Structure 1
Amino acid sequence: MRRFTEGFYGYAFAMLVCLAGVGAFLLVAPQSRTEHIPSVNFSIDLANMRREAAYQVWSPEPVQPGWVPTSSRRTEAKTPDGKTAVTWKLGFATAKRLHAMLAQSDERPAAEFANRMANSSTVVGSVQINGVTWEKRFREDKNQRSLIRFLPDTTVVVTGSAPWEELSALAGSLKQQPRITS
């Protein structure tokens, strides 16, 4: 009896019993084989933006098939001239399960906001989407692509690790939302 309680054989026997227990647990424990991506409802942030932003807000209409909205964040910051800049960031898991984000703000200077969202100030080209020209930027070390549109009162940035086709689809789905006056 001392043989199984001492030395290498005792250790090996104890490990075998533990591994058998873990194996039995894994066989009987329920396992989900489906992917679960947490989703957020961004309608409240959109309504607040339409009510409070000094500019007309853009949002995807409709959300692309297979895309999941994963984050929505609205922020305000004082600018050096004493005004309040309002920014909204809306993140998605795309159909290919990569990341895409819509960011828009009336922050000035607009180029600083665009550079920060794109993580780059280098323009690599432009693309026409629904008759509108978007500036293209790419940061290779972060595998981040960005589409930027400068408007008189706001800057709209579509960015992420998603391929150009998915980012272009998001940019093409954006609709200007009417202001809510209360």
Structure 2
Amino acid sequence: MRRFTEGFHGYAVALFVCLAGAGLFLLVTPQSREEHIPRLDYTITVANFGHQVPYGVWAPRQDPPGWVPNSNRIAKGENGAQVLYLGYATAKRQHVMFAQSNERPAAGFASRMANSDKATGTQQIGGVTWEQRHREDKNQRTLVRVLPDVTLVITGTADWPELGELAAQLQQRPQG
């Protein structure tokens, strides 16, 4: 029996037993080949944001088909303004973020979110005109809509039609 616990042969047998055990463990452990993106409900965050700001909050009526909401938060912006962020993985698995704030001047907020202050065009969505901004070196497209009391920004790596899908779902909720 000592022969198996000493010398090179003992080492080789111990290594083989360990590798066989690890292989057997990997073989019987269930493995999912499906992508898993955590889904985070944002309804409470949107409601809390609505209690903090003096205007009706904008939020999607429903998420576009195949989109997964995966992040949300409320943060302080410039000059004490509040900012609501809702993040998504789109149906094409690109990243999109919807942000809104009553920060003034609105152009500063929009430029920071878009990483650009240059409009590259406009896009009509549901009868409403959104300003387009494109930052090619970051593969970032942004839609901006400046309203009297709030600035809406939809930005990310998604293409223009996907950004438009989210913009089409936005509606203003009653204040308070």
TM range (shorter): 0.7 to 0.9
Question: Are residues 1:148 and 2:138 paired?
Answer: no
1:40 is matched with 40
Asked whether the equivalents of residues 75 and 83 of structure 2 are also in contact (C-alpha less than 8 Å), the reply is: yes
Question: Are residues 1:163 and 2:159 paired?
Answer: yes
Write the mapping of 1:85-104 to structure 2, written as runs, cut at 5 A: 85-104=81-100
Change (3 A) 1:16 1:141: farther
- Structure 2 unpaired stretches of 5+: none
CA distance in 1 between partners of 2:159 and 2:12 (Å): 51
Letter of the structure 2 residue corresponding to residue 70 of structure 1: N
Change (3 A) 1:162 1:172: same
Which digits, 9 at most, give the CA deviation of each residue in 1:122-180, with x for residues without a partner?
22111111111111111122211100011111110001111111111001110011112
Count residues with an aligned counterpart.
Answer: 173
Change (3 A) 1:162 1:23: same
- Structure 1 unpaired stretches of 5+: none
CA distance in 2 between partners of 1:132 and 1:51 (Å): 27
CA distance in 1 between partners of 2:122 and 2:13 (Å): 67
Query: Residue 121 of structure 2 aligns to a residue in which SS?
Result: strand
Letter of the structure 1 residue corresponding to residue 72 of structure 2: S
Asked whether the equivalents of residues 103 and 109 of structure 2 are also in contact (C-alpha less than 8 Å), the reply is: yes
More off after superposition, 51-60 vs 110-119 = 51-60
TM-score (norm 2): 0.87
CA distance in 1 between partners of 2:151 and 2:78 (Å): 17
Q: Percent identity?
A: 55
RMSD: 2.1
Letter of the structure 1 residue corresponding to residue 162 of structure 2: E
Change (3 A) 1:64 1:20: same
Write the mapping of 1:129-144 to structure 2, written as runs, cut at 5 A: 129-144=125-140
Letter of the structure 2 residue corresponding to residue 155 of structure 1: T
